[in-house]
Amino acid sequence: MCVLIYGIQWLTGNALTQAWTYYPPWTVAEPWRMMTSTFLHSPNTILHLLFNMYSLFIFGPVLESLIGRVRFLVLYLVSGFAGSVAVLLLAPGIAVVGASGAIFGLLSAYFVITRHLGRGQTQVFIVIALNLVIGFVIPNVAWQAHLGGLIAGVAVAMVYVSTRRRAQRTVQILGVGGIVLALVALTVIGVVLMPVPG
């Protein structure tokens, strides 16, 4: 979807980019941008898309095989949403696009789940650490979205690993639902506390 949408961004002369980019002051009027922006990538450089898709290609299939398609999709979407919430709370004056928040959520979830299963996590730990450093060092990178996705990924993964049995399915759904409600509450708080322009 990210690759397809990136093509549409170019075909529409970046009209889609402008329509889906997330800018915190627009949260109340157009809240869907908190999600749509996570499927966009910078039209200024294809490296943004390639780097995120490479990470998804390396860790995505393995993680999906561990938790299943539905849980994987939920994890991806919740982490992407959390990335936007973090931008709202920590950097309400910047506009953002990209799947980085969602990708960081997948990486941190992979770390938690494989650790729970007793597998080595050196590779993913290095990738997470390097990406966090890059986010703080390279300009125009929304490290806030990375951080938000990272935290959400850990939270969702903790719910997953503690409710693995079929009999715990309802508890698992309620647990993830609670995380989403917390993110919605933080969104409301962020909107209320947002500085009024000039």
pLDDT truncated to tens, each residue of the chain (198 aa)? 999 999 999 899 889 999 999 999 999 999 999 999 999 998 887 887 888 888 888 889 989 999 999 999 999 999 999 999 999 999 999 999 999 899 999 989 998 998 888 766 666 667 666 666 665 555 566 889 999 999 999 999 999 999 988 889 999 999 999 999 999 999 999 999 987 654
Residue 22, strand partner residues: 96
Q: Could you give the CA distance from residue 84 to residue 21 in angstroms, rounded to a whole number?
A: 11
Is the Cα dihedral 92, 52, 17, 20 positive or negative?
negative
Q: What are phi and psi of 29, to 5 degrees?
A: -75, -35
For residue 182, give the DSSP letter. H
Q: Is the pTM of this model over 0.85?
A: yes
Look up tokens 């990924």; give the residue. Answer: 153
| Cα distances (angstroms) measured from residue 47 to each of 42, 82, 177 | 9, 23, 34
Active site residues: 100, 146
Q: Could you give the CA distance from residue 192 to residue 106 in angstroms, rounded to a whole number?
A: 30
| Cα distances (angstroms) measured from residue 79 to each of 7, 100, 120, 194 | 24, 9, 23, 22
